Amino acid sequence: MEAQRLISGFCSTPPIQNTKTQVFVKFPLSSSSSSSASFAQSQKWVSFKACPSISQSALSGKVFQCRNSGERIEFLASDKEDLRSGIRRKKLAVFVSGGGSNFRSIHEACLRGSIHGDIVVVVTSKQGCGGADYARDKGLPVILFPKTKLEADGISPADLVATLRSFEVDFVLLAGYLKLIPAELIQAYPRSILNIHPSLLPAFGGKGNYGMKVHKAVIATGARYTGPTIHFVDEHYDTGRILAQRVVPVLAKDTAEELAARVLREEHRIYVEVITALCEDRVIWREDGVPIIRSKENPNEYS
């Protein structure tokens, strides 16, 4: 029952007809949320049918044991590209609160192989939001966090950390997630949580500055340039170290909606580019604590 509470649906689409294709993952069956340790000790195996949308690359080269029948199942997709690169394919968690257009862009990039990683779990603060619905439709596990008056089924920060660890998550990607990230998660994933903001931080950032509010404020101040910022997450809203930015001009007769559309197009491009670099281990930290990205074509160049 606890597994059902934590995971709000793996596959809303009909499962594939080949019932031999099963994937086994660990989820907590105990109702205790007092500590990560008790969470880990209470894990048991839960199986689900693999949906057609699950990336073949996520299963490539892997061998699973069907615990019900004992039958060995092999996924024969080649893993040669991973071996050539010498870089392990990363496991990603995406956090959403709204429509999830950046989440969709990231997911599509993973499926087509642009990103050397796979989304293994989605966390949402609103179980009925578009991003969560998209995740369920694609057969991705959905976790509800945090617990609020409106979302009573949400889990605790300790259980959130334990759940992400059970999925062996490497990086956490915020994609329109409107809640403050708990200190427990930041401590558990140092320099591993990214957020995207629709303005050139530190301008137009902070609590309450999100979505269309940002674009209206940009126009109202007469700013001539704006654009998305990708930064690492700390304990506060929009104050973490900046990793990448993309400049978008503000036109004289722009409406907030027109500006938002142009910025969003750049968000989709730059977030995929940055996550690609992150999964290829090309994000480097200078001695002063500033993150930079090493060029794939020329390792001696940085941005």
> Which among 116, 197, 231, 268 is annotated as catalytic?
197
Taking a C-beta distance cutoff of 8 angstroms, is the pair 166, 26 a contact?
yes
Taking only the tens place, the pLDDT of each residue in 34-46 is 434 433 433 333 3
For residue 4, pLDDT over 60 is answered with no
Question: Residue 132 falls within a domain, yes or no?
Answer: yes
Question: Residue 44 falls within a domain, yes or no?
Answer: no
197 belongs to the catalytic site: yes
Taking a C-beta distance cutoff of 8 angstroms, is the pair 57, 112 a contact?
no
Looking only at the bridges linking them, the beta strands covering 43-49 and 63-65 are: unpaired
More confident residue, 68 or 181: 181
Question: Residue 284 falls within a domain, yes or no?
Answer: no
Question: Residue 35 falls within a domain, yes or no?
Answer: no
Q: What is the DSSP letter of 16?
A: P
Of the candidate ranges 61-70, 89-98, 130-139, 290-299, the one whose mean pLDDT is the lowest:
61-70
Taking only the tens place, the pLDDT of each residue in 262-276 is 999 999 999 999 999
Taking a C-beta distance cutoff of 8 angstroms, is the pair 286, 242 a contact?
no
H helix intervals, the chain: 2-6, 36-41, 56-59, 80-85, 101-112, 130-137, 157-166, 183-188, 212-221, 256-279
pTM for this one?
0.74
Interior CA angle at 164 toward 159 and 165, to 5°? Answer: 95
Interior CA angle at 185 toward 196 and 101, to 5°? Answer: 30
pLDDT of 148 reads 87
Distance of CA 292 to the CA centre of its chain: 20
CATH number of 149's domain: 3.40.50.170
Question: Residue 49 falls within a domain, yes or no?
Answer: no
Cβ burial of 14 (10 Å; 0-12, 13-18, 19+) is exposed
Interior CA angle at 278 toward 262 and 10, to 5°? Answer: 80
Q: What is the DSSP letter of 294?
A: B
For residue 255, pLDDT over 50 is answered with yes
The residue segments making up the domain with residue 114 are: 90-214+226-247+264-278
The one-letter amino acid at 295: S
Highest mean pLDDT among 13-22, 26-35, 79-88, 286-295: 286-295
User: What gap in Å lies between CA 283 and CA 156, rounded to an integer?
Assistant: 31
User: What gap in Å lies between CA 65 and CA 74, rounded to an integer?
Assistant: 9
Domain count along the chain: 1
Question: Residue 43 falls within a domain, yes or no?
Answer: no
Taking only the tens place, the pLDDT of each residue in 6-26 is 544 444 444 333 433 333 343
User: What gap in Å lies between CA 108 and CA 113, rounded to an integer?
Assistant: 9
Cβ burial of 266 (10 Å; 0-12, 13-18, 19+) is middle
Q: What is the DSSP letter of 150?
A: S
Instruction: Enumerate residues 6+ apart whose C-beta is below 8 A from 48.
Output: 10, 11, 22, 23, 25
